Structure 1
Amino acid sequence: MSPTEPTGGSAAPGTLAAFLQLARVKFLFQSMMVTGFGVTLAVHASGGFSLSWYLLTLGFAWSTHLMTHFCNEYFDLEADRANPSPTSWTGGSRTLVDGLLSPTVSLASAFVTLFAGFALTAAMPTPATRLLAVALMALAWFYTAPPLRLNYHALGEVTCAGVLYGMGPVLAALLQSGSLSPLLLWCTAHVCVLQVLRCLIMNLADIEGDRLVGKHTLASALGPRSLTRLYAVGQGVLYAGVLVLAAAGELPLVVAVAQLACAPAGLHVLHALRTGAMVERRRADNVTFWASMQLPLTTCGTMVALLADLSLRDSPAPAPWVAIAVGTTVVFAWWLTRTALAARRGPVADARPGRPAPVEGQAERA
């Protein structure tokens, strides 16, 4: 069957609900937090804030993020169909797999959001910011699209981290202040490493379907055991770096505390990997959830800590940004609590035709 042909589904195609499912709106919290993260780092360094540039940055982040979702749904359709045990966070939205919408809807939506991103890029103030934005969109597009298909050649994990948690905050900071601080570079490196580790977990959940269609992710190249060791080393080195920088006075203490407070999420994921959690749908959902949440928890915690550090130094951030940052944090906290409670209840059994139930031993144990 051609990757562009819809499969049969049990629900009527073309609905708004199906389109929202295709868009995977829940992941937009990630790019919202990344934007706030970069803006806060710029505010911490310069003391200034521009609402107009924040809104443009957020619009660009969301349009590019949606573009990536639509692009991935279309070009990953064969792998998603081959995936025997998708989770709530991996394996695609299942909208195209279940025939709820035509694949051409996803591709057309990818182009629409791509053009929206170009329009916002044209409004950026300097050649450096425009060039960075174009590079960001190109890497996001070719994450799954031919001819590069970066996530099919063991480059997807690094590309995703570089685009979302590297270039994203840097672009937000440059649009605010026009310069980059050493603190921004460390904090960006911190979340980039976390995102690489998170992407390894996401691709581990999809490993069976990926291997069936010849999709060579870094996770499939490493295998579960080596991936688990790399995840443990990465988490250890990262938080050791936080301690060293804080002890040397290069990282504000309140920021170090906020970043260290997110370490238990990684420890939970590591423990789950070592006990074979990825072979059972409910536990795999829990693992991918907390691997995903470590990122926005870290960006949110760091953002609040940076604002607190400014207050402790008697140079508080501009009131409009404080209000936006606090509002963003509250919305994220509400969403996280709601999603965590739903995750604890576990996924509802899927009775749709052609969706096999996960069985013990389906995947190689970590």
Structure 2
Amino acid sequence: MIRVVRVPILLGGALGYCLGVLLGLDAGGILSLPLAAVCYLVAALGDLSTHYSNDYYDVELDRLAPRKTFGGSNLLVSRGELKRGALFSAEVLSLASIILSFFAVSLGAPLLLVPLAVGANFLGWLYSTLVRLSHRGLGEAAIAVGTGFGVPVAGYLAVTGAVDAHFLLISAAFMLYGFVLSLSLELPDLEADRVGGKMNLVARYGSRFCLRLALLLCLGSEVILTLFAGAGMALAGLVPLLVVIWGNLAATDEKSRLDAVSATCILSLFVFLVVSIGSLAFF
């Protein structure tokens, strides 16, 4: 069952959380390792819940799409007997995330963490079930909010105890990158999603339109970072911007080329996180 976990996505979440912590320290916050660890678990368990719920509800679509570098394991396709266990795991992880948010408050986190944890977990379930945002062209926005705001804000709150205007401005750039991440993840599944009726933005409008959209999003992020985040993060933002420019030039309708563009765009976002963390930690 552990194979359901998307390790690269979990790693990206850890980096996003660390970035939130460092932004908080840069704003004058104080680091308490026990509190930071518990707040990280709040974010990480909520993230892990979506790995299991998405695989559970998308198992039929996964039959149509081959396994990809940053996608799920497709384990439930071949091991149908594990489906109930996957759903149970998703439910337990969501509940644990919310319970831990109360524990974090007892350690000194602001009460705001609790509704944020509840909202983020609820959003994760809206993505794959209930209203199925992922099938209605709204899943990208859900991922953008979850990865670009929900994860970093947990780290920021752990050290500052509040959300201020400066963080909200910078997190706007992170949310735009979260939108780019979602589009990049969807590119390899373009045809399978169309056949399966999962009408996300890539399936609706095609890869070329969405790569142009990703370019506009990266440009917007770069403007925000340049104005409000300082030179280090602004320089880091050039990496996804340049990669998405390349993606627009290199992409064709061939699946192998789309796979390469998708993986490279996602890797560029990892590079952005690592370089941003380095700039805040050492400069």
Counterpart in the other structure of 2:230: 252
The answer on whether the counterparts of 1:24 and 1:93 sit within 8 Å (CA) in structure 2 is yes
Does 2:178 correspond to 1:190?
no
Pairs within 5 Å for 1:113-192 = 113-125=93-105, 126-145=110-129, 147-192=130-175
Distance in 1, Cα, partners of 2:241 & 2:198: 31
Counterpart in the other structure of 2:87: 107
The answer on whether the counterparts of 2:19 and 2:276 sit within 8 Å (CA) in structure 1 is yes
| Among candidates 30, 38, 41, match of residue 56 of structure 1 | 38
Pairs within 5 Å for 1:292-307 = 292-307=266-281
Residue deviations 1:178-199 (CA, integer Å, cap 9, x gap): 1234442233111211120221
Pairs within 5 Å for 1:1-366 = 19-83=1-65, 85-90=66-71, 92-99=72-79, 102-125=82-105, 126-145=110-129, 147-243=130-226, 245=227, 250-273=228-251, 276=252, 279-281=254-256, 283-309=257-283
Distance in 2, Cα, partners of 1:183 & 1:257: 19
TM (norm. structure 1) is 0.70
Distance in 2, Cα, partners of 1:289 & 1:132: 30
Sort the Cα spacing of 1:175 and 1:140 in 2 relative to 1 into closer, same or farther, 3 A: same
Q: Give the secondary structure class of the aligned counterpart of 2:229.
A: coil
- TM-superposed CA distance for 1:139, in Å, is 0.3
Residue deviations 1:245-295 (CA, integer Å, cap 9, x gap): 1xxxx432233223334533333333332xx1x6243x4443222222222
Distance in 2, Cα, partners of 1:253 & 1:204: 31
Distance in 1, Cα, partners of 2:135 & 2:146: 17
Q: Give the secondary structure class of the aligned counterpart of 2:63.
A: helix
Q: Give the secondary structure class of the aligned counterpart of 1:207.
A: helix
Q: In proportion to residue count, which structure has more helix?
A: 2
Alignment: residue pair count: 279
Structure 1 segments of 4+ aligned residues over 6 angstroms from their partners: none
The answer on whether the counterparts of 1:156 and 1:217 sit within 8 Å (CA) in structure 2 is yes
Q: Give the secondary structure class of the aligned counterpart of 1:46.
A: coil
Distance in 2, Cα, partners of 1:167 & 1:107: 22
Sort the Cα spacing of 1:232 and 1:262 in 2 relative to 1 into closer, same or farther, 3 A: closer
Residue deviations 1:213-269 (CA, integer Å, cap 9, x gap): 2212122222223223212322233324444x1xxxx43223322333453333333
- TM-superposed CA distance for 1:101, in Å, is 5.4
- TM-superposed CA distance for 1:93, in Å, is 1.4
More moved, 253-262 vs 185-194: 253-262
* Structural RMSD (CA): 2.1
Sort the Cα spacing of 1:120 and 1:301 in 2 relative to 1 into closer, same or farther, 3 A: same
- TM-superposed CA distance for 1:143, in Å, is 0.9
Q: Give the secondary structure class of the aligned counterpart of 2:100.
A: helix
Larger Cα-atom Rg: 1
